[in-house]
Amino acid sequence: MPKIVDHEVQRAELLDRAFELFADNGYRATSMRTLAAGLGVSTGTLYHYFGGKEDIFEKMVIRVSQRDVSAATAAIPPDADRALRLQLVFAWICANATYLQRMLLLIFDFQRHRSDDEATVLIQQAAQLYRSALEQQVGEAGPAWSLVLGMLVQGLLEPGIADTEQHLAGLQALLRT
């Protein structure tokens, strides 16, 4: 069934580019017209490939979060010890901090728009995916995971205040336990 393959390929391409558009202005403020224009298709086409705005967003989140996890763990040598893994993961987070912050804001924006269980589940799944990836590298994270999230959030609230070195040291302290 080649048509279905094309369908999937086309959907995947649209989703990849959809993140930037959503992230620029948030879920609510990104209209279907804006989305269609930015993707170079018509609104009708979007409704042909997807069930609607929410559907696009949900599929996009799943796709993007999976891609992120792969990217973050790709550069870690299989034989690295726990300390090194932490350093590499932390470095990846810092390098992609802006991106991750946008993702976080985007998810909160979506949560606002749709507060059913379905949306909650989507967000939980995405969050768990990221968290599990971290725990696969450094073991049970607990407060360490909160520290990572908090560092990103503080960057949103008071940009430029957070001290990266201190946060790495904090992470190491939390995980030494």
Partner DNA sequence: TATGAATGAGGCTTCATTCAT
Partner DNA sequence: AATGAATGAAGCCTCATTCAT
The residues of the shown chain that bind a second copy, judged by CB under 8 A, are: 2, 25-26, 28-29, 44, 104-105, 107-109, 111-113, 120, 123-124, 127-128, 131, 142-151, 153-154, 156-159, 162-163, 166-167, 169-171, 173-174, 177
- Assess 31 for contact with DNA (CB under 7 A): yes
Q: Does 115 bind DNA (CB under 7 A)?
A: no
Asked if residue 157 binds DNA (CB under 7 A), the reply is no
For residues 155, 158, 159, 161, the Cα torsion angle rounded to the nearest 10 degrees is: -90
The answer to the question of residue 112 lying near DNA (CB under 7 A) is no
Contacts of 49 (CB under 8 A, 6+ apart): 7, 10, 11, 14
Applying CB under 7 A, the site for DNA has a residue count of 25
Q: Which of residues 2-21 bind DNA (CB under 7 A)?
A: 2-5, 7, 10
Query: Do residues 22 and 36 make contact, with C-beta atoms less than 8 angstroms apart?
Result: no
CB 101 within 8 A of CB 156: yes
Nearer to a second copy, 13 or 163 (CB): 163
Chain positions 40 to 79 lying near DNA, rule: CB under 7 A, are 41-45, 47-49, 52-54
What is the contact surface with DNA in residues (CB under 7 A)? Answer: 1-5, 7, 10, 28-34, 41-45, 47-49, 52-54
